[in-house]
Amino acid sequence: MQIIKSNKTQFEYDIQALLKSFYPEWEPRMLAPDSQIRDRRILEGEPVMELIFGEDEVTLEMLNGLHNIHVWKPEEEEGTAAYKNAFKRFFYVCLCKETETTLPWGNLTGIRPTKIAMTMMEQGNSGEETAAFLRQMHLVSEEKTALGVEIAKREMEILGTLHYENGYSLYVGIPFCPTTCLYCSFTSYPIGAWKKRVGEYLAALEREIDATALLFRDKILDTVYIGGGTPTALSAEELERLLKKLKSAFDFGAVQEFTVEAGRADSITEDKLRVLFENGVTRISVNPQTMKQETLDLIGRRHTVEQVEEAFRLARRVGFTNINMDIILGLPGETAADVRHTIEAVQALSPDALTVHSLAVKRASKLGQWIEKNGATAYNNTEEIMEIAARGAAEMDMVPYYLYRQKNMSGNFENVGYSKRGKYGIYNILINEEKQTIAALGAGSITKGVFPDDRIERCENVKDVGQYLGRIDEMIGRKQKLFAGGTGWGRS
Ligand code: SF4
């Protein structure tokens, strides 16, 4: 247990997020202002901090170890955004001093660092001004500042072709997979257990499709993304039924991109790929995560490296000219040499895009439990490993085009989407930058309404498939309520 006591209940989220970033193994606990911390038995080696917001200064006292005291005399007015930002800088610098380290993304704790850069540039700031802001206000490293600004500029260029005012995107979730991966934190159920009820799921989805198509009948559909889960866990016939329904309900006339996650190699067959291709899917993802068989076995992917290679080649033969591959850095036991091997094996296939994730371990995932059980520190990600992946993407003539962060990411890094020019996944940018309404259908999906007054509102579908089937009218009703204003959404 690690204890932080503060005499004011403010900035709790930022304090905890920064502590987790510096000390990933901690589960920091904030004590209430009236707790008697000094009377408590302080465990040997357990960090205990006391944060005192005084009249003119703020102090952070380390109550064990070296008993360091850090002092900040704020010039900003309390309660303002500037005060909060300055506090975050102070707290971050204290932790840098305590740990003798810095974080690549400085004191940024949110998941969308590029959104800050993009917003600033949209407001007329130059790339240099934006970079200076990230470095000075958020203490972001030189490398990450350059990456963030480069990506934000590219995103603006890519999104230039979208119908901002009148357009929207569509997400369809298929919450089934061949088996559950150890690190999974998505809505996913083993297809074997649901095989007999997939028809029911598709029938519910079809009702949601019809209702959503009606709701959005005056809008322009820009991108479509079928994810999950693993959509290709469905049979070829089931996929065909879904795709045909989508195409008959929505107007695909202006769709710029139609993506289907074909993530797991053990779900891919020629029949399914043909159904996707013949129904106008333009982009698929075949995800190895790693090309090291031992790791695939450990993380429960239940497919071989050869299956990934075969699935990829099959997709090319069927005709796909935009294939993404996902890999994960920081997997248990993987070294820089393993990542180099994965990159070389991916390069041999020559995909059009490569998405590089840093492992994020959620406690609820099976991997979180595995790590706890095995007392593992066997997963890590380093600057060197990130560099191997970035260099590998550059060697394939790819550029970084979107980026996001998650909680509990190995090494405090980021997920980066790389792509050859013109093969970008536009939907990936949209989901991160929140520039356009995304209507999301299926169990566990989250619809995001982006309104002209900059409001962003969400409505969620239940995750449990049984609940989704039984409460489909309620799910439809939630979307109807969110967009009750009719055609007024979309940012201008
Ligand atoms: S393929 Fe993806 S969604 Fe399916 S179990 Fe694995 S991590 Fe989860």
SS (H, E, C) 240-273: HHHHHHHHHHCCCCCCCEEEEECCCHHHCCHHHH
pLDDT at residue number 65: 66
Asked if residue 180 has its Cβ within 6 Å of ligand 1, the reply is: yes
pLDDT over 70 at 1, yes or no? no
The total of other beta-carbon atoms located within 10 Å of residue 264's CB is: 26
The SS3 call for residue 223 is strand
Q: Which atom of ligand 1 is nearest to the CA of 179?
A: 5
**Domain spans of the chain?**
2-99, 113-149, 159-479
Mean pLDDT (the chain) is 91
The Cα 348–Cα 342 span in angstroms is: 10
Distance from the Cα of residue 5 to its chain's centroid: 31
**What value does the mean pLDDT take over residues 285-309?**
95
Residues in a beta bridge with 269: none
**What value does the mean pLDDT take over residues 146-169?**
93
The Cα 54–Cα 48 span in angstroms is: 19
- Cβ atoms of residues 437 and 450 within 8 Å: yes
Q: Which atom of ligand 1 is nearest to the CA of 264?
A: 1
Residue with the larger pLDDT of the pair 31 and 350: 350
pLDDT over 50 at 161, yes or no? yes
Residue nearest to atom 2 of ligand 1 (CA): 229
pLDDT at residue number 4: 84
How many helices, marked H, and strands, marked E, lie in the chain?
17, 18
Mutate to test the pocket of ligand 1, among 187, 264, 286, 367 (most ligand atoms within 8 A of CB): 264
Query: Is the link from the previous residue into 160 a cis peptide, with omega within 30 of 0?
Result: no
**What value does the mean pLDDT take over residues 289-310?**
95
Cα-to-centroid distance, 94 and ligand 1 (Å): 38
The Cα 310–Cα 325 span in angstroms is: 13
Express as a percent the part of the chain with pLDDT over 70: 94
Residue with the larger pLDDT of the pair 360 and 440: 440
pLDDT at residue number 376: 59
Asked if residue 191 has its Cβ within 6 Å of ligand 1, the reply is: no
**What value does the mean pLDDT take over residues 56-79?**
88
Residue with the larger pLDDT of the pair 229 and 5: 229
pLDDT band at 487 (very low <50, low <70, confident <90, very high): very low
**What value does the mean pLDDT take over residues 208-224?**
97
Cα-to-centroid distance, 189 and ligand 1 (Å): 9
pLDDT over 50 at 490, yes or no? no
Residue nearest to atom 7 of ligand 1 (CA): 184
Pairs from 17-21 (Cβ < 8 Å, separation ≥ 24): 17/109, 17/407, 18/88, 18/91, 18/92, 18/95, 18/107, 18/109, 19/95, 20/407, 20/408, 21/103, 21/109, 21/412
The SS3 call for residue 176 is strand
Cα-to-centroid distance, 228 and ligand 1 (Å): 8
pLDDT over 80 at 486, yes or no? no
Asked if residue 263 has its Cβ within 6 Å of ligand 1, the reply is: yes
pLDDT over 70 at 158, yes or no? yes
pLDDT over 90 at 242, yes or no? yes
The CA-atom distances, in angstroms, between 282 and each of 162, 183, 362, 424 are: 17, 28, 32, 11
Asked if residue 185 has its Cβ within 6 Å of ligand 1, the reply is: no
Asked if residue 285 has its Cβ within 6 Å of ligand 1, the reply is: no
pLDDT at residue number 46: 63
Q: Which atom of ligand 1 is nearest to the CA of 287?
A: 1
pLDDT at residue number 377: 56
Asked if residue 362 has its Cβ within 6 Å of ligand 1, the reply is: no
- Cβ atoms of residues 462 and 469 within 8 Å: no
pLDDT at residue number 390: 97
**What value does the mean pLDDT take over residues 54-78?**
88
pTM (two decimals): 0.91
**What value does the mean pLDDT take over residues 459-482?**
97
Query: What does the block give as tokens for 326?
Result: 């996902």
The Cα 256–Cα 39 span in angstroms is: 64
**Ramachandran quadrant class, 353 (left: phi over 0; alpha: psi -120 to 50; beta: rest):** beta
Cα-to-centroid distance, 132 and ligand 1 (Å): 39
Residue with the larger pLDDT of the pair 361 and 433: 433
pLDDT over 80 at 37, yes or no? no
329 HSE (CA, 13 A, CB side): 28
Asked if residue 16 has its Cβ within 6 Å of ligand 1, the reply is: no
69-93 b/e with 16+ CB inside 10 Å = b?
A: ebebeeeeeeeeeebeebbbbbbbb
Asked if residue 177 has its Cβ within 6 Å of ligand 1, the reply is: yes
pLDDT at residue number 173: 98
Query: What does the block give as tokens for 92?
Result: 């971050």
Residue nearest to atom 5 of ligand 1 (CA): 180
The Cα 280–Cα 19 span in angstroms is: 47
- Cβ atoms of residues 346 and 398 within 8 Å: no
Query: What does the block give as tokens for 487?
Result: 């055609």
- Cβ atoms of residues 416 and 402 within 8 Å: yes
Query: What does the block give as tokens for 114?
Result: 């590029």
Please tell me what DSSP assigns to residue 145. Answer: H
Q: Which atom of ligand 1 is nearest to the CA of 228?
A: 3
The Cα 464–Cα 459 span in angstroms is: 16
pLDDT at residue number 66: 66
Mutate to test the pocket of ligand 1, among 174, 180, 226, 366 (most ligand atoms within 8 A of CB): 180
In the chain, what's the furthest Cα-to-Cα distance? 71
**Residue 225: closest CA among 280, 302, 173:** 173
pLDDT band at 452 (very low <50, low <70, confident <90, very high): confident
**What value does the mean pLDDT take over residues 291-304?**
93
Residue nearest to atom 3 of ligand 1 (CA): 229
Asked if residue 419 has its Cβ within 6 Å of ligand 1, the reply is: no
The CA-atom distances, in angstroms, between 352 and each of 149, 151, 222 are: 23, 18, 21
Asked if residue 115 has its Cβ within 6 Å of ligand 1, the reply is: no
Asked if residue 186 has its Cβ within 6 Å of ligand 1, the reply is: yes
**What value does the mean pLDDT take over residues 231-249?**
98
Class in CATH terms, 159-479:
alpha beta
- Cβ atoms of residues 315 and 284 within 8 Å: yes
The Cα 257–Cα 322 span in angstroms is: 10
pLDDT at residue number 11: 92
Q: Which atom of ligand 1 is nearest to the CA of 229?
A: 3
Cβ neighbours of residue 114 closer than 8 Å, sequence gap 6 or more: 148, 151, 152, 155, 402, 403, 404, 432, 433
Q: Which atom of ligand 1 is nearest to the CA of 301?
A: 6
**What value does the mean pLDDT take over residues 88-109?**
94
The Cα 161–Cα 336 span in angstroms is: 39
**What value does the mean pLDDT take over residues 163-183?**
92
pLDDT band at 27 (very low <50, low <70, confident <90, very high): confident
